[in-house]
Amino acid sequence: MLKKILVANRGEIAVRIMRGCQELGYEAVAIYSEADRLAPHVRKAQEAYLLGPAPISESYLRKDKIIAIAKKCGADGIHPGYGFLAENADFAEMVIEAGLTWIGPPPQAIRLMGDKVAARETMGAANVPLVPGIGRSGESMRDDELVAAAEGVGYPLLVKAAAGGGGKGMRRVYQAEELPAAIRGARREAQSAFGDDRVYIEKLIQDARHVEIQVLGDTHGNLIHLGERECSIQRRHQKLIEEAPSPVIDEKLRQKMGAIAVAAAKAVNYCSAGTMEFVLDKAKNFYFLEMNTRLQVEHPVTEMVTGVDIVKEMLRIASGRRLRYKQSDIQVKGWAMECRIMAEDPANNFMPSIGKIIGLTNPTGPGVRLDSGIDYGIEITPYYDSLLSKLIVLGDTRGEAIMRMRRALEEFRITGIATTIPLHIQLMNSTRFQAGQIDTNFLERNFTFNQMPDSELMQAAAVAATLLAHQRNQQAILLHQGGPSPWRLYGRREALDRRIR
C-alpha cells in the first residue's frame, strides 16, 4: 500500500501530482534543483530535497540521486510525471529493483513503444492502421537504403527519429532531391536529443488532424478508453491548444478509434495511463502515429469531460487496485479546452523569455481550471521547458468553451516576462478556429500573429503613468518641505532667547 510518493519532476505537473497524492491521503515528496529552491512544487510538498545544480543533467536526470532520496525519505513509490525520465525504461527498472513502486506502465511496454519502428511493427501485427512507411527495428537503415525505399512510400514524406518525440529528429520532404540532406539533419538532431541516430520514413498525410485516445488499464487486465482529444493546433510539432472532444469525431468513429486503441494497448500488456496518437485525414481515415507511455500534458481536458481523475487512477493502479470504471461508465459531457501558456514571445518569433514575474493575476470564475507551476516573484530561468501554466475551461458546447477561454485569457496577467497569452486570445477570435477548420499546419498556413494594441489597455496605462508621475511629484514636494532641520531649530531657539532677555 502506498503512503509516501516522491514526484520526480518539477513545475505544474509536479504540483498536479502532489494534489492527487494529498487527496488520497499520501504524503508528497518534492525534489528540486538550485534554480527551483522557491518553486511552487517545493512549497506544496510535505518534504523537499535538493538534487543539485540547475542543469537537468546534474539534477532532474540524475536517476541515482532520485532513487537515493526516495529511499532516504522512506518513499514507497515514484511518479515521474511527463518529460525528463517519464519514458525511460532503464529508470523504471531501477526504481523497481530498488524495491520501490513505479507509478507508470511496465518497463517493457515503455521500451517497446519508445522505439517508433518497433511500435509500428507491433501495432501492425495487432491490425492497427498504419501510415505507409519503411524502417527496421533493432537496426539502422543506411541513407542509401532509405533513399531507395522512399520511392515506394511516395512524396511528400517525413523523416522521423526512431527514438524520437516532441518533434525532434523530424523533417518534412516534398521532393526527392531534398531527402539526403533531410536524413542527415534528422540523424544529427536525433543523436543529440536521444543518443540514437536511427531514422525511418513515413508518408506525410496532407492537411491531417492530430487526434489521440486516452487509455487507462490496471494490473488485472482491465483496459478502457476515455474518448479522444484534438491536438491539431501545433507549432513545430509542439501542441499549443488541446480540446475534448474533437469537432470532427462522431460517436461511431469515437467508439471505433477507442476500440482499436484498447486493442493496441492490450497487445503490449499495458497498464496505467497512456495515449494512442493518430493522424486523421480529410476522409476521416485514421492511422497510428505513436504511443505515449506516460501522463500527457493535455490530460486535464479529458478529466474535465469524463470526470475521471487520471492522476489518482494512476496512483490506485500502482497500488494494485482494480479500475473503478467500466467502458459503459465513461460518458463525455460538455466541451473542454486547454491553452498551454509558455514563456515565449509570439511577436518575436517565439523567442524564449526569461526574467522575474513581478505581477500575476490568475483567472477565476465558472468552469475555469488553472494548473500552474509559477507564482508571484519567482524567476523564470533558461534551464527548463518554457511551459508556465495550463489554462483549462469547461463549457456546455464548443462555442461556450471558446468564449469562456477568451474571457479567462483576458483575465490572466503575467508581468515581467513575455508569454503566449496574446497569441491564444487571437486564436480564440479566429473565425476558422471557431468553425473547427483546423489541421496540424493551421498556424503555418491559415494564421498570422498580429498583436494589435488594445486601446483600453493603452488608456489605462497612460492613466497609471500619469498618477505615478503625480505621486512622485507630491513625494518630492513633501520631502523638500519636510520637518525643520536641526540648524533651523537652533536658529529659532536663539531668536526666542533674545526676545526673552
Q: Which residues are catalytic?
A: 294
Query: ∠ CA(338), CA(344), CA(345), 5° rounding?
Result: 115
The DSSP result for 34-85, as a single string, is GGGTT-HHHHHSSEEEEEESSSGGGTTT-HHHHHHHHHHHT-SEEE--SSTT
Report d(CA 120, CA 116) in Å as an integer: 6
Amino acid (1-letter code) at residue 359: G
Task: Write phi, then psi, for 130 (nearest 5 degrees).
Answer: -115, 150
Strands 101-102 and 77-79: parallel
Task: Write phi, then psi, for 487 (nearest 5 degrees).
Answer: -65, -40
Residue 220, SS3 per DSSP: coil
Q: What's 176's DSSP letter?
A: G
Query: ∠ CA(285), CA(290), CA(291), 5° rounding?
Result: 120
Report the residue count for the chain: 501
Report d(CA 460, CA 447) in Å as an integer: 29
Report d(CA 198, CA 217) in Å as an integer: 31
How far from the centroid of its chain's Cα atoms is residue 234's Cα? 12
Which contacts of 259-263 are long-range, i.e. CB under 8 A and separated by 24 or more positions? 259/225, 260/128, 260/129, 261/213, 261/215, 261/225, 262/215, 262/223, 262/224, 262/225, 263/126, 263/127, 263/128
Q: Which residue has the cell 483576458?
A: 410
C-alpha cell read off for 30: 518534492
Report d(CA 345, CA 185) in Å as an integer: 27
Report d(CA 23, CA 17) in Å as an integer: 10
Which contacts of 352-355 are long-range, i.e. CB under 8 A and separated by 24 or more positions? 352/382, 352/386, 353/380, 353/386, 353/417, 353/418, 353/419, 354/379, 354/380, 354/381, 354/382, 354/417, 355/379, 355/380, 355/416, 355/417
Report d(CA 138, CA 118) in Å as an integer: 8
Residue 387, SS3 per DSSP: strand
